[in-house]
Homo-oligomer: A and B are copies of this chain.
Amino acid sequence: MPALSKRDQLVNTALAMFTRDGFHSTGINGILEEAGVAKMTLYKYFKSKDELVVAALRLRDERFRDWFMQYVEADDAGPRERLLRVFDALNLWFNDKSVPGDKFRGCTFVNAASEYHDIDNPVRSLCAEHKRMMSMYLRGLVVQAGLRNPDSLAQQLNLLVEGAISNAYVCGDKNSALTGKAAAEALIKAAG
């Protein structure tokens, strides 16, 4: 298997460090040291730190959504069970059982949005886009389950997802995914 390109080494290291220590707290020099890459190489591939941030978030988006959807759709569950498996996936994530070695530190995109207050920053667009894709995926699951008012229900379930993530991180409530699951079951039942 081929070694990672210098560019990929940078993006991987940057993502790990941004996730671990935050975006503004993580300096360029630290990333270069940990990645074992020269500064000039970084600025060959990226015009600025912000561009590196965007690249790291793109990688996170790809990895996370792949893992998430793969888990939800595994085990040949029926459409109804699949919808509830969303919360089982969250439960694994919160308890560090998603990607190996990946310590849960909240949603990387929520964290990024918290650090980049300027709504016009490309980082913010990327965060919103990630959340939009996650909620659209959820909507698809609701449609497949044949439930009434799929748009409305999907938006409500999405709040449970986002609330569980926030609560798991800020309050350290590792059980919040199961709370969300119980609420989801009630909403789904009510929606026939």
Where the two chains meet, the residues of A that have a C-beta atom closer than 8 Å to any C-beta of B are 20-22, 24-25, 105-106, 109-111, 113-115, 117, 119, 127-128, 131-132, 135, 152, 155-156, 158-167, 169-172, 176, 179-180, 182-183, 186-187, 189-191
Contacts and interface: CB of A to CB of B under 8 A. Distances in A.
29 contacts: A22-B114, A24-B25, A25-B117, A110-B110, A110-B114, A111-B114, A113-B169, A115-B115, A128-B170, A131-B171, A135-B171, A152-B182, A155-B179, A158-B163, A158-B167, A159-B160, A159-B163, A159-B180, A160-B160, A160-B183, A161-B163, A162-B163, A162-B167, A163-B166, A165-B166, A183-B183, A186-B191, A187-B187, A189-B190
Contacts of A127: 170
Contacts of A115: 22, 24-25, 114-115
A25 B22 CA distance: 12
Contacts of A187: 183, 186-187
Contacts of A106: 113-114
Binding site of A, secondary structure by majority: helix, strand, loop or mixed? helix
Given A159-B160, A176-B159, A166 B22 contact: no
Given A22-B115, A162-B166, A165-B166, A156 B179 contact: yes
The 8 residue pairs across chains A and B that have the minimum distance between CB atoms: A163-B163, A159-B163, A114-B114, A156-B183, A162-B163, A111-B114, A24-B24, A162-B166
Contacts of A172: 119, 128
Contacts of A109: 170
Task: Among A106, A170, A176, A191, find the residue whose CB has the most chain B CB atoms closer than 10 A.
Answer: A170
Contacts of A170: 109-110, 113, 127-128, 131
A155 B183 CA distance: 9
Nearest to A176: B159
